[in-house]
Amino acid sequence: TNTMFTGIIEGFGTISAIRSAGQGKRLAIEADFALDQTKIGDSLCVSGACLTAVKIDGKHFEVDISPETLQTTTFGKAKVGERINLERALRLSDRLDGHLVSGHIDGIGHIRQRETLSNAIIITVDVAETLAKYMIKKGSVAVDGISLTINTSDVGSFSVSIIPHTAKLTTIGIKSIGDSVNIENDMIGKYVERFMTGRPQRSKAQVEKQPAIDMAYLLKTGFIE
């Protein structure tokens, strides 16, 4: 899918029902705001995950969640009554106030610490090293679909500063220590890695045959002096 989001949450929703759908699940969600101009087949970012509306009636809509998505997101443990973040897909005419978010979750993080600093809440999130490697200070990350700036990053964690406005209008304000969150890393870091290492679909022999793009290679080819 080419659907994109901004990470600027439009409002809350509440999971009203969860039903089995084969090995997946169907979630019924009640949005807190009018879903005008949203129709069946449209994509919504639901706490960070890009999901397709399969039924819609006023503020009520339903989405199907695949077995793979259940394994890689917090929806595997979703509960009726749970509050979620909602954002409809970015339109070409929209301003991009956050950063480009694809809605493809890279993994799950767990809130380790919450502390108040002046008028902000500093939240530390533990993540796998495979996720942390893409995170840099002042870089972007989407936490439950919320576009946030990274304060600090380490091998297995990162921290973000939450202003009162964000805490009030998104679920990050009601998350507690130990709660799990969906993580999507900034696309730029993933694209850079793909460019530097070669496309994943290439065979190992093809990748090894291709010269490494490093300082020596750039000097040799005249890209830098």
pLDDT in tens, 64-74: 999 999 999 99
The candidate with the shortest Cα–Cα distance to 41, out of 14, 72, 73, 63, is 63
For residue 212, the model assigns a pLDDT of 55
Q: Is the pLDDT of residue 209 over 70?
A: no
Please give the Cα distance from 144 to 201 (Å, whole number).
29
pLDDT in tens, 8-40: 999 999 999 999 989 999 999 999 999 988 999
Q: Name the strand (E) or helix (H) holding 182.
A: strand 180-185
pLDDT in tens, 171-196: 999 999 999 999 999 887 776 767 66
The length of the chain in residues reads: 225
- What confidence tier does 207 reach under pLDDT thresholds 50, 70, 90? very low
3-state secondary structure of 218: helix
Please give the Cα distance from 152 to 214 (Å, whole number).
27
Q: Is the pLDDT of residue 206 over 50?
A: no
Please return the burial class of 142, using the count of CB atoms within 10 Å of its CB with bins 0-12, 13-18 and 19+: buried
pLDDT in tens, 136-154: 999 999 999 999 999 999 9
For residue 176, the model assigns a pLDDT of 96
Q: Output the average pLDDT for the chain.
A: 87
- What confidence tier does 99 reach under pLDDT thresholds 50, 70, 90? confident
